[in-house]
Chains A and B, each alone.
Chain A
């Protein structure tokens, strides 16, 4: 999850070859037993070439950042608001959820609260805390927000790119979403 959070914040766009090698090696040691999609994602990532990784940034920006209209905008509202407009009730519901847990994003209103990296970070925060109350928030957040749209987001990525690193990361997002969904069931 942290991998995806850092990824969507753009930190991997300028990751050096060596850093990638180390990360992929470490990911290979992750316990993915029983989570086939996630395992597939890690494996696919391991099979990308250094050149794929170096070139990932352009495709990342085309899909998620801009300056042209992003092909797979990483905001919850884009998958739930019928007009894909940000900062409407869908985004504000995420804001209200954060507030329920006593939090809000820094520099509020300068970025949509439902940016995927914020949603992942919030979830991580709740889970890392470990308390029963925070875990309950995490489960509720997954049910009401994150898992409602990540599968659609993954589909939109797949429909719009062939870039191996981006596709691997989409598979990882799908894998984690599936695993979390299963855990909730």
Chain B
């Protein structure tokens, strides 16, 4: 009896004055509960999802759900590319969804960077944003002072809803271009008329595979599986890289090349091939233009000895490589993105393309100069399409360079940018020249960021909005490498108050129109499923044999066929319809007509004389994944990799804190000594760690690459052309 009495008395406040006051706020006791529903114990369901990250592999995922909760994820075996496997990052997804760190509610910060956050309702958020938009429109007669910075954090086709929303308001300022791969895209556009790689699964048919500036063991693990299998089949596998990567360590041969000299190696190989008449004249005659001029250029300007001097690769190695490449047909070259992140990156890719074409290693099964592809992106971009209100006083959107975002935004005055919307991006973490980016953020009255986890960009925002994970929404996904096309369906309910980009667009549109009728044309009456249904093209349905788009969920994925060998029909998309060694388009964009060697413009000084390479990290993708606790458990500390010789010269020992510095900034990071990196270069992997201010971009300059403008509107970034000093801290 006593026990019962005690517990009752200790409920406290019951029937008291304080309870009377408190009972009035919020709902009555148990108002957050309802009667339990009957459920079949232990019953599980499976759903198809797709990893939407900026990654070669774009995996189809099977998600097992019990009682509305994700139990585990695995690769979809219906895709022969992934064969039922994910990567270390993909297997972390349940943690991503169920991390207590997720952004849960719309929040407003009292001042950027203050850390003083107030929870607000979606309606309040939409009101603040819509009022700002209308104020801008009223003040300037247009919405150019609104800048959108969005890119690759999520490639679900429905994330383009935010572009659609912006276009439905009027003309805005857009961050144009792409940081990752534009120089190479231009090269292949000049040479072949498009980026179009062979199905990577066709590498199984190759006799020789050269992986040039890519690290699939970290960044495309399922391709590594194919390469290993090809090796078992007898193919020779060669990796060319300045760094002895995890992938290179698995190769038959690793060729260490001086950074940014890849074009010289390709041209040196061309010279050997021509000297020994190993070229495919018949293929060039039938399929190309400008080959005589190219052959002439090589014969007059290039020697193997010159190439050896440029690249640091011994003559004998170049000759053997050239001989094998020209005779082990078919031979496949995988051109990675790393090697085009230089001021001569585009020119280098053109030289490698030319090497492949010279040997007729294009258009054949198991061959190719394989860079990337967008042919499988069979989407209608319905969510992206906005038909503006047409009530402003300007004719077009205003584009700024996404790769020089901070400086470009700050330079705008007529009109200036007042409001910034950031989605699927973390510019404060990932853009070069972080200090300048910070100033750009500070210059805006209202910065809105949509994200799943708090990062430096959120810290510099006024409003942060929570977005859904892929497990909480519909979607369609394609890869820029393999040819599988995935469906994505909601596996679980949208947690907390998270919304999809399209839902945010619809909510904002509704608010804008309630404040000023006709101010936004973005449709507000569709469900996410209806939006998704609009995205699959008729061509895709026909190709897959679908009557209805939802048939994609029978297997979760379907393959876009016809690309087992790229360019097998010989129909190049260039103006001449042929492979263009001689490209008028390249010349029109200020490049050389021919794939000639171009020296890199080095910013090296006496003080800052160590090239800094900032490649992708195995436990992260840009600023994603490394922040998750499961990753932090494996690895939680950034480091700079330097050669033992460089360390010795500077009195640095393994584990010492070192200061990495140049004209724009510095960082202090732990030294890791390894012979895997060049003697005169340093390597820091770009990543965002939890509870760690580390950001390599404080010392990475926004130096433009030589190409990118033709196909993507803006040049790429020479991420690997920054030079630093390395000293013991």
CB within 8 Å of B: which residues of A?
Answer: 1-3, 6, 9-11, 13, 19, 22-23, 26-27, 29-30, 38, 57-58, 61-62, 65-70, 73, 75, 77-78, 83-88, 92, 95, 98-99, 102-111, 117-118, 121-122, 124-125, 127-128, 130, 135, 138-139, 176, 179-180, 182-184
Residues from chain B with a CB closer than 8 A to the CB of A109 are: 67-69, 492-493, 495
14 contacts between A and B (CB under 8 A): A2-B22, A29-B16, A29-B17, A30-B16, A61-B119, A67-B454, A70-B100, A73-B100, A83-B633, A86-B99, A106-B34, A110-B494, A110-B495, A127-B14
Main secondary structure of the interface of A (DSSP, over half): helix
Task: Kindly list chain B residues whose C-beta atoms are within 8 Å of the C-beta of A139.
Answer: 3, 7
Interface size on B, residues (CB 8 A): 67
B115 & A135 in contact (Cβ 8 Å cutoff): no
9 A-B pairs with the lowest CB-CB distances in the bound complex, closest first: A183-B6, A69-B101, A109-B68, A26-B18, A26-B17, A125-B30, A73-B100, A58-B116, A68-B454
**With an 8 A cutoff between CB atoms, is B513 at the interface?**
no
In the bound assembly, the distance between CA atoms of A38 and B466 in angstroms comes to 37
- In this assembly, does B398 line the interface, its C-beta being within 8 Å of a C-beta of chain A? no
Flag the segment in B102-110, B230-238, B525-533, B562-570 that touches A.
Answer: B102-110
Nearest CB of B to A183, in Å: 4
What residues of A have a CB within 8 angstroms of the CB of B131 in the complex?
none
Tell me whether A104 and B18 are in contact (CB under 8 A): no
Which residues in B have their C-beta under 8 angstroms from that of A22? 21
The residue in chain A whose Cβ has the minimal distance to the Cβ of B117 is A61
- The chain A residue with its CB closest to the CB of B498 is A110
Contact B10–A183 (Cβ < 8 Å): yes
Q: Write the chain A residue with the least CB distance to B8.
A: A127
* Contact status of A122 and B117, CB under 8 A, knowing A6-B25, A111-B495: no
Q: Closest residue of chain B to A103, judged by CB? A: B33
CA distance A73 to B688 in the complex (A): 22
Given contacts A106-B34, A180-B7, contact A3 B117 (CB under 8 A): no
- A87 & B98 in contact (Cβ 8 Å cutoff): yes
CA distance A108 to B105 in the complex (A): 17
B-to-A contact residues, CB < 8 Å: 3-4, 6-14, 16-23, 25-26, 29-30, 32-37, 67-70, 94-95, 97-105, 107, 110, 115-119, 453-454, 458-459, 464, 466, 492-496, 629-630, 633, 690-691
Enumerate chain A residues within 8 angstroms of B17, measured Cβ to Cβ. Answer: 26, 29
Min distance, Cβ A32 to any Cβ of chain B, angstroms: 9
Given contacts A85-B98, A104-B34, contact A135 B23 (CB under 8 A): no
Known: A3-B18, A87-B98. A11 touches B26 (CB 8 A): yes
Could you tell me the distance between the alpha carbons of A84 and B467 in the complex, rounded to whole angstroms?
Answer: 21
Q: Determine which residue in A88, A104, A110 has the highest number of CB atoms from chain B within 10 A of its CB, and name it.
A: A110
Q: Is the CB of A176 within 8 A of B12?
A: yes
Which of chain A's residues has its CB closest to B69's CB? A87
For B9, B100, B630, the residue with the greatest tally of chain A CB atoms inside 10 Å of its CB is B100
**Residue numbers in B under 8 Å from A75 (CB-CB):** 100
Select from chain B the residue with minimum beta-carbon distance to A111.
Answer: B496
A66 interface neighbour in B7, B11, B33, B104, Cβ under 8 Å:
B104
Complex CA gap A29/B17 in Å reads 8
Could you tell me the distance in whole angstroms from the C-beta of B456 to the nearest C-beta in chain A? 11
Is B107 a contact partner of A128 (Cβ separation < 8 A)?
no
B26 touches A66 (CB 8 A): no
> With A26-B16, A58-B116, A124-B11 given, is the CB distance from A84 to B100 under 8 Å?
yes
A127 touches B7 (CB 8 A): yes
Name A57's contact: one of B3, B95, B118, B630 (CB within 8 Å). Answer: B118
A30–B17 alpha-carbon span in the complex (Å)? 8
